[in-house]
Amino acid sequence: MSRTFRVVAWSTGNVGVHVIAGIDARPDLELVGLWVSNPAKVGKDAGRLARLGRNLGVAATNDVDAVLALKPDVVVHTAMADDRLMEALADIQRILRSGINVLSSGPVFLQYPFGVVDDSMITPVQEAALAGGVSLFVNGVDPGFANDALPLVLTGVSERIDEVRCSEILNYNTYNQPMVLFDIMGFGRPLDQVPMILQPGVLTMAWGSVVRQLAAGLDVELDSVEEWYERRPATETFEVDAGTIEQGSAAALHFEVRGIRKGKAVIVLEHVTRLHDDLAPEWPQPAGHGCYRVEVSGEPNYTLDLQLLGSDGDHNTAGLKATAMRLVNAIPAVVDGSPGLLTALDLPPITGRGLVT
């Protein structure tokens, strides 16, 4: 008889709603609790908050002690961490010390923090997990599956590798998260304003984990990690789901985080983000509506495009679902993993076991 894992979902944001749906979809998972930050959501059924159109029999609460008292096997934590880093870390450490495994979508540097952030950002998390005798796994689709498991599997059929390039090529026009688009990424803002994401060191803190983990997986010692970016303005005023993009304001962003060895880039994390398909036509173009692309240059040369499309016809929905399900489907492996901070290099292949209908 297969084991059933008792799960608490932590938040009902853009990713959290898909986590609830994903937990409900797996026969080996039982949703036993739901934590929310918004008092207006307290007492509402998880199924309604996740827009499933039915009740799941689990009411939302903002009482952390009540959630921890449920003693679940795992908490799937998807609360926003980008603008509340220390608070998110404190929440995660508290859960871990309570003896509960955590799978989280952030802070993203924890997907592989070694050589990326100072030990003072890693040690407290490690100590909390060890004190609780449980594991922490931070992942998603990017940073995550599209630039850890996917490229490492592809390199397994290489004879020689000159460069591994992992790219996200997406139009974010339906991504309804104004704080991320406007305040963090700087879209809709004047081009002479440098947004949070482009402040020196921030790209490396967020996606350096991708470069460092791939280097570790390929046994490559990097000499340095470098950042590069360019932006383009809107050629006209237009609307996106998150708001208005005025003509002349930032509307397209292209950046790279490059792992350098012997003077050349050998591992590259690249993002090509547009808010309108017609912008920067000379930049890399997606396959389909949007894609994650892995290019392995060497012998032979490989290009692998992972196209995204939700059943609602939206590629951004698919990306949010991919982030959620990367966490949900990894629950059994993480619970059975060694106590401490786990990375994709520590886990077996994660499959959609039990999901075929």
Could you give all domains of the chain from N- to C-terminal order, each with its CATH number?
Answer: 5-139+330-342 (3.40.50.720), 145-310 (no CATH)
More confident residue, 316 or 346: 346
- The pLDDT, as a whole number, for residue 84 is 85
135-138: strand order across its sheet: 60-61, 29-35, 5-10, 74-77, 101-104, 135-138, 340-342
Helices 315-328 and 16-25 sit at what angle, rounded to 10 degrees?
60
The count of other CB atoms within 10 Å of the CB of residue 349 is: 7
Alpha carbon 124 to its chain's center = 21
Q: Is the pLDDT of residue 357 over 80?
A: yes
Average pLDDT on 98-114 reads 96
- Residue 230: is its pLDDT beyond 80? yes
pTM assigned to the model: 0.93
SS3 at position 287 = coil
Q: What's the rounded Cα separation, in Å, for the pair 312 and 289?
A: 13
Q: 222 — phi, psi (to 5°)?
A: -85, 145
Q: What's the mean pLDDT when you consider all of the chain? A: 96
Residue from 198, 162, 170 nearest 296 by CA = 162
Q: Which two tokens mark 226? A: 């470098």
Place of tokens 């237009």: 238
- Looking at residue 59, what is its pLDDT? 98
pLDDT reported for residue 217: 97
- Residue among 21, 72, 65 nearest 335 (CA): 72
Percent of the chain predicted with pLDDT > 70: 100
Alpha-carbon dihedral angle through residues 94, 98, 100, 101, given to the nearest 10 degrees = 50
For the segment 231-264, what is each residue's pLDDT rounded down to a tens digit? 999 999 999 999 999 999 999 999 999 999 999 9
CA distance 113 to 343: 9
| Alpha carbon distance 162, 93 (integer Å) | 39
266-277: per-residue pLDDT in tens?
999 999 999 999
Examine the pLDDT at 60 and tell me if it is beyond 90. Answer: yes
Q: What is the pLDDT of residues 22-59, one digit of tens each?
A: 999 999 999 999 999 999 999 999 999 999 999 999 99
